[in-house]
């Protein structure tokens, strides 16, 4: 299959169109992959007390659990998400990856990974003081996803 990228005007939204003679399992798989990649999970709301916020998932650095509550962390704030972490993991786009039993991180926002002797990795994010650890168990998957991001951004 041939791939082509066209640069459009700034006012037009980004769009992916698949031109094909017929719908095959391959095209369906590509469509599903794109949908998962860009879709925002339905019903995901962010709260501070009784106030509901509407954020883009791109703003979220990571989700973590604290005393049975799940919080979404942005650069300068955090919001409660009224879902379980495993529900979130299933619903989130593929650029979110589990990094420990209690946290899911957005690979789009990871700035650095500092590995230590014990096999854990400390993840930092651009323009924020926030940090989070990635446990040994999830290190390989994170590395794979970061590699994917690198290839995507530099190809």
Partner 1 sequence: MRTAKEKSGYKFPLFGILLIVFAVLLGLQALGIADDYFYVKVAFSVLLGGISIYSLFRLRFIVTFLPVVGVLYIWRDMLGIQNVNFWALALPAFLLGVGLSMIVHRSHPERAFVWHVNSNSDTDEEIAGEDAEGVVFANCRFGEKTRYIHLETVKKCVFDMQFGEMKIFFDASTIAEQGMVIQANVGFGELELTVPKTWEIDNHVSVFAGTVTEPEVISSESRTKVRLAGNVNFGEITIRYI
**Counting Cβ atoms within 10 Å, is residue 67 exposed (0-12), middle (13-18) or buried (19+)?**
exposed
Site residues (CB under 8 A) for partner 1, limited to 115-144:
116, 118, 120, 122, 129-133
C-alpha radius of gyration, the chain, whole number = 17
Regarding 73 and contact with partner 1 (CB under 8 A), the answer is yes
**Count of residues touching partner 1 (by CB under 8 A):** 18
Task: Provide the terminal-to-terminal Cα distance of the chain, rounded to the nearest Å.
Answer: 18
Regarding 83 and contact with partner 1 (CB under 8 A), the answer is no
> Which residue from 28, 37, 58, 69 is in contact with partner 1, where contact means CB under 8 A?
69
Site residues (CB under 8 A) for partner 1, limited to 38-67:
64, 66
Closer residue to partner 1 (CB): 30 or 47: 47
Regarding 2 and contact with partner 1 (CB under 8 A), the answer is no
Question: Do 126 and 109 contact (CB within 8 A), yes or no?
Answer: yes
What does the alpha-carbon distance between residue 119 and residue 101 come to, in Å, rounded to a whole number?
16
Partners of 59 in the β-ladder: none
Closer residue to partner 1 (CB): 36 or 126: 126
CB 129, min distance to partner 1, A? 5
């Amino acid at each position: 299959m041939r791939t082509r990228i066209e640069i459009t005007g700034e006012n037009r939204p980004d769009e992916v169109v698949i031109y094909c003679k017929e719908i095959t399992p391959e095209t369906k798989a590509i469509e599903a992959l794109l949908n998962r990649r860009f879709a925002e999970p339905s019903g995901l709301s962010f709260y501070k007390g009784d106030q509901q916020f509407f954020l883009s998932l791109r703003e979220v650095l990571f989700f973590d659990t604290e005393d049975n509550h799940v919080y979404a962390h942005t650069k300068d704030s955090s919001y409660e998400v009224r879902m379980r972490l495993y529900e979130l993991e299933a619903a989130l786009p593929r650029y979110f990856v589990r990094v420990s039993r209690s946290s899911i991180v957005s690979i789009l926002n990871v700035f650095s990974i500092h590995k230590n002797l014990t096999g854990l990795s400390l993840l930092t994010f651009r323009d924020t003081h926030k940090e989070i650890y990635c446990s040994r168990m999830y290190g390989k998957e994170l590395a794979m996803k970061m590699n994917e991001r690198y290839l995507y951004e530099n190809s």
